[in-house]
Structure 1
Amino acid sequence: MRRLSPSRAVLLVARREFLGKVRTRSFLIGTVVIVAVLAGYVLLQAVLFDQSNRSTVGLSGQSTVLAEPLRETARQFGREVATTDVTDPAAAEEQVRKGDLDVLITGAPDALRVVVKENLNSALQNALDTIVRQQVLNAQLAEADLDPNVVAAKMAAAKVTVVALEPEDSQQGQRLAIGLVIAALLYYSLLVYGTMVAQGVVEEKSSRVVEILLATLRPWQLLLGKVMGLGAVGLLQLVLIGGIGLVLSSTTGVIDLTGVASGALATGVLWYLLGFFLYATIFAAAASLVSRQEELQSVVTPISTVIIIAFVVGINLLIQDPSGTTVTVLSMLPPFAPILMPGRMAIGVAPLWQVLLAVVLAIGAVAAITWLGGRIYSNAVLRTGSRVKLRDALR
């Protein structure tokens, strides 16, 4: 019987792991559920954003002539306004009380009476103030026999030039949201599929399937194939969820930084690969030390804790100050970089040198962990019974 080449052996193991997982009902149902939850969340955000950015205004009496000026002026202040003519002000006030109308406006254009349930939106307040002042100004100009249009043109020509030494990014909020979503997706993928690698190692070891496999394969081939196969499953799910989320967010208007989001997803794939090879190898090596699923938790908990800490601490630091010294340093360290660096890149606060340094350190860590993890796995995977001590596995 002809022996398999190393590359073919690894690919066969990877194919077995990949197909064995993607064909399961749990993977399909889990992916569909996650996508459905994500779609529902995005659609909910779209509805809430539309509602929070729109006011329904009822106009009664002389104020009806302000419908078009109000819509245009409010839009300049970043507020969408839908107007409706009201014939019964008393009934309209009741609509305001019930929440069917946001605002009721009555009275003459230069002396408006505005009725709201609790408070008036600041953008709408500014728009109404502007309109009333313009009405008064037009009346005064007419009395002075001046053309309001000529005066308005001269006023529009008068501008103040602002030079910002450190201009604020008006899209910082969207960038932060994209960064947090990417960090959350990577956290989920690394934790779930890393644990899955560990479970697979113990399952094969406890059922002695690994003894049959290692009659044909070398330990490093089995380890690498398992990591590659399950890593590909996680990558597939990551791209599916991220891609669908990106399309939904763009089409519903939740985000308009499609280029930034696409770039964040692409860099997220790179960091997923680096992070997964790093953590999955550690998970596999740790799992090879035990022979039963009951013992697995004791060896994977420290690894999972590092990932959880990286996510929880990282998310808080990204929200508070993504350019801070602490998060900057952590984002370049291999255990934290796969979650934090893509988030900082999406926000736009990671210089190229920091990204390159983080990548180089991550590649170095992957190489070192692969060698060390492979040694532990090779020395421990065939030892059954009691738990293998780490120092024995390193001999």
Structure 2
Amino acid sequence: MNKVLLIIQREYLTRVRKKSFIVMIFVVPLLILGMGGLITLVAKNSDKLSGEQVVNVIDDSGLFAAKLQSTKNIRFKPGGQSLEDLKLATKSDENLLILSIPADYAKKDNVKVFSKKKPSLLITDEIARQMNDIAVNNGMLQHHIDTAVLHSIKSNINVNGVEITDTGAKDANVGTNMGIGVACAILIYLSLFIYGAQVMRGVIEEKTSRIIEVIISSVKPFQLMLGKIIGVGLVGLTQFAAWIILSVISSKIAGHAFNSPQSPIASAMAILQTIPFGYILGCFLFYFLSGYLLYSALFAAVGSAVDSETETQQFMFPITLPLLFTYLLSVTVLFRSPDSTLAVWLSMIPFTSPVAMMIRIPFGVPGWQLALSMSLMVLGFLFTTYVAARIYRVGVLMYGKKVSFKELGKWFFYKE
């Protein structure tokens, strides 16, 4: 046990004493804050950044050209030329857009926007919206329906989610929970790759430099692998702890600096105070640690099986595919339906649950599902650590041989 502790100490101190580690502790929160401010600024000024697009309208139906309304980004004007002449003009002007509306515009895909480069969704969506509104109004007029009355009674209803708890009803903050879930899933996904890759690189470096031959003479391969995994994991926890502390301090400073209840920052902080951060943080740390232990053991096995980092790709893809698959689903599908059957199953499978469960936790997860998922995670990383250790003990002393999955299987069954 003392040898494992020495390896942990070496792996930990070697990394936390680096200038890059200390710098990143302070730089990352600033980068995230700056990125958030930049995104907000860009979103507010997106209309100005995109510029104005002139759309030449050729309307064979005679219903739309005079009724299309120009916006900040789109200016409609009559074509003035034939469609074929305008198409020829696009060869010399890549900003030229042509909206062609045939007489039978109602048929699918008959309305077209021609341009030398692909038109943006902003333009096509705005054109479709305006044309649908115009077509509906024309239809109502043909059926002698008073459009003015219909527009006057048109409502704009917003639905606000309210959660019923033991202490009473409270705002569900669906959007905030969604953002926190996606942010946690992205952070888990990135951290597992970053810190797992550090373990793999460390193994490859020691193996190629032949230092590992000296180390193995003093400790067992399993002790070395375990020490490297735990040491790098503690480095990750140290970074997260520092980032959390800095975030809390900055939020306190921001709260005092913007103490007006009408300010956007004060409003945002008031919403965040309703989120159970202790519960979410505890779950995040568990799934980071368990997911890290699961994947880093496999990364260590891959590092022991190759002689250089360029040879790792054939083994890395099958290992990381479940994590990548879940990440892509999380940021596109799962956050919209966190209690779906797919989300529940993905949050139970150890290879996918670190990402999938972090999407679900802000929305509330039944206790038995959380307990089962955590139990399976513990069993999962114990199993993968055992499998990786069987491969690692042979691979760290194997040089100059191209390794396949079949060969890894043989290593697993080698006797001590």
TM, length-normalised to structure 1? 0.64
Which is greater in Rg? Answer: 1
Given that residues 191 and 307 in structure 1 are in contact (C-alpha distance below 8 angstroms), is that contact kept between their aligned partners in structure 2? no
Instruction: State the partner residue of 1:198.
Output: 200
**Structure 1 stretch 384-393 or stretch 366-375: which is displaced more?**
384-393
Distance 2:18 2:12 in 1: 10
Deviation at 1:249, TM superposition (A): 5.2
The alignment-based identity, stated in percent, is: 31
1:13 corresponds to 2:7: yes
> 1:170–1:164: structure 2 CA closer, same or farther, 3 Å change rule?
closer
Distance 2:272 2:309 in 1: 45
Gaps of 5+ in 2: 46-71, 73-161, 256-264
Could you report, residue by residue, the CA deviation over 1:282-340 in whole angstroms, capped at 9, with x for unpaired residues?
11012211112221233223323332222121222332211111111101110111112
Q: 2:294 aligns with which of 253, 267, 278?
A: 278
Could you report, residue by residue, the CA deviation over 1:214-257 in whole angstroms, capped at 9, with x for unpaired residues?
11111111000000000111122223334434554573443433
Opposite residue 270 of structure 1, the aligned amino acid is F
Opposite residue 30 of structure 2, the aligned amino acid is A
Distance 1:247 1:329 in 2: 38
- In structure 2, the residue corresponding to 1:371 is in which secondary structure? helix
Distance 2:10 2:164 in 1: 57
> 1:287–1:351: structure 2 CA closer, same or farther, 3 Å change rule?
same
Instruction: State the partner residue of 1:134.
Output: none
Instruction: State the partner residue of 1:379.
Output: 394
Instruction: State the partner residue of 2:411.
Output: 393
1:294 corresponds to 2:310: yes
Given that residues 291 and 385 in structure 1 are in contact (C-alpha distance below 8 angstroms), is that contact kept between their aligned partners in structure 2? yes
Deviation at 1:194, TM superposition (A): 0.5
Please give the residue correspondences for 1:331-350 in structure 2 after superposition, counting only pairs within 5 Å: 331-348=347-364, 350=365
Could you report, residue by residue, the CA deviation over 1:242-287 in whole angstroms, capped at 9, with x for unpaired residues?
4434554573443433352332122111111110100000110122
- In structure 2, the residue corresponding to 1:323 is in which secondary structure? coil
Count of residue correspondences: 278
Instruction: State the partner residue of 1:228.
Output: 230
Instruction: State the partner residue of 1:159.
Output: none
Instruction: State the partner residue of 2:209.
Output: 207
Instruction: State the partner residue of 2:324.
Output: 308
- In structure 2, the residue corresponding to 1:291 is in which secondary structure? coil
Please give the residue correspondences for 1:1-395 in structure 2 after superposition, counting only pairs within 5 Å: 7-42=1-36, 169-245=171-247, 248=250, 251=255, 252-253=265-266, 254-255=268-269, 256-258=271-273, 259-348=275-364, 350-388=365-403, 389-394=407-412, 395=414
Distance 2:10 2:22 in 1: 17
Q: Which has the higher contact order (CA 8 A, sep 6+)?
A: 1
Bigger helix share:
1
Distance 2:4 2:163 in 1: 56
Could you report, residue by residue, the CA deviation over 1:23-81 in whole angstroms, capped at 9, with x for unpaired residues?
22332333333211112245568889999xxxxxxxxxxxxxxxxxxxxxxxxxxxxxx
- In structure 1, the residue corresponding to 2:351 is in which secondary structure? coil
> 1:306–1:331: structure 2 CA closer, same or farther, 3 Å change rule?
same
Given that residues 261 and 346 in structure 1 are in contact (C-alpha distance below 8 angstroms), is that contact kept between their aligned partners in structure 2? no
Gaps of 5+ in 1: 1-6, 52-96, 98-162
Deviation at 1:181, TM superposition (A): 1.5
Distance 2:281 2:249 in 1: 12
